[in-house]
Amino acid sequence: MTGFPHSPRLTRAGLVLIEPGSGAVRRIVALQYAAETLSRRLSAQAVEGEGARAHPLRLTGPAVETITFEAELDATDQLEFPDSNAAAVETGLFPALAALESMLHPTVAQLERQGAQRRSGSFEITPVETPLALFVWSRSRVVPVRLAELSITEEFFDPALNPIRARVSLTLRVLSVADLGFDHRGGGLFMAYLQGKEALAARAAAGQLGELGLGGLSA
């Protein structure tokens, strides 16, 4: 909420980690403040090589989309009410930062299983599977992603050197049916995301050739 009594309640953005099979929610990482800017980059997956000249308009799959944004974390408000925020008093922003960092690490249990496989002489080490991450930025944008890169700048610290203010920069790679397949839970969520885009595109105002200085198109 802002400081004005009649201001609208702002929806938070965040990441939801779910079990790919059951869909059970494992963790919700809510961003304290919505980022002021969000950058998206889309690269077409088109026919390449010798076939590109023969099929210049054909696509081989959904565009590769990358989302980048910066968010702020601040424990100052929580520290003003220490009786209600014991965790912030004890560890500052460490828990919130660790929740984001954990998306890039295998768990200790997973690493120990890999270590046991190596010690037993296993020919193939089982790759680690992480929970499915969903990026939620309003009800119109819920999309499966992989956290590709995380940058953290810790700015202020309490007397015990716990960070109490930080800026985090996240780079998310959208996971499409080309990555997950159509039968994966995340594949279905991506299709719903793409369907939402198509519905929004249909609502865009139609332009007129006259606006472009053209009376018509001729071959």
pLDDT tens string 6-23: 545 556 789 999 988 888
- CA distances 195 to 23, 191, 199, Å, are 21, 6, 6
What is the overall mean pLDDT for the chain?
A: 87
Taking only the tens place, the pLDDT of each residue in 92-114 is 999 999 999 999 999 999 899 88
H or E segment and range at residue 145: strand 142-157
Mean pLDDT across the stretch 106-133?
86
pLDDT, greater one: 77 or 137: 137
Taking the mean position of all CA atoms in its chain, how far away is CA 162?
Answer: 26
- CA distances 207 to 6, 14, 184, Å, are 38, 35, 38
List strands edge to edge, sheet with 163-174.
25-30, 14-18, 132-136, 142-157, 163-174, 59-74, 38-46
**What is the β-pairing status of strands 38-46 and 142-157?**
unpaired
pLDDT of residue 3: 46
Q: What is the Cα–Cα distance from 126 to 123, expressed in whole angstroms? A: 10
What pLDDT band is residue 4 in, cutting at 50, 70 and 90? very low
For residue 193, give every residue at least 6 positions away whose Cβ sits within 8 Å of its Cβ, in sequence order, or none.
141, 142, 143, 144
What pLDDT band is residue 133 in, cutting at 50, 70 and 90? very high
Mean pLDDT across the stretch 116-145?
87
What's at 79, amino acid-wise? L
Classify 140 as helix, strand or coil.
coil
State both tokens at 27.
């963790």
Quote the radius of gyration of the chain (alpha carbons, Å): 23
State both tokens at 25.
């929610």
User: What values do phi and psi take at 10, rounded to 5?
Assistant: -85, 135
Taking only the tens place, the pLDDT of each residue in 162-205 is 999 999 999 999 999 999 999 999 999 999 999 999 999 999 88
Is-contact 132 17, C-beta < 8 A? yes
Classify 49 as helix, strand or coil.
coil
Taking the mean position of all CA atoms in its chain, how far away is CA 101?
Answer: 13
Taking the mean position of all CA atoms in its chain, how far away is CA 102?
Answer: 14
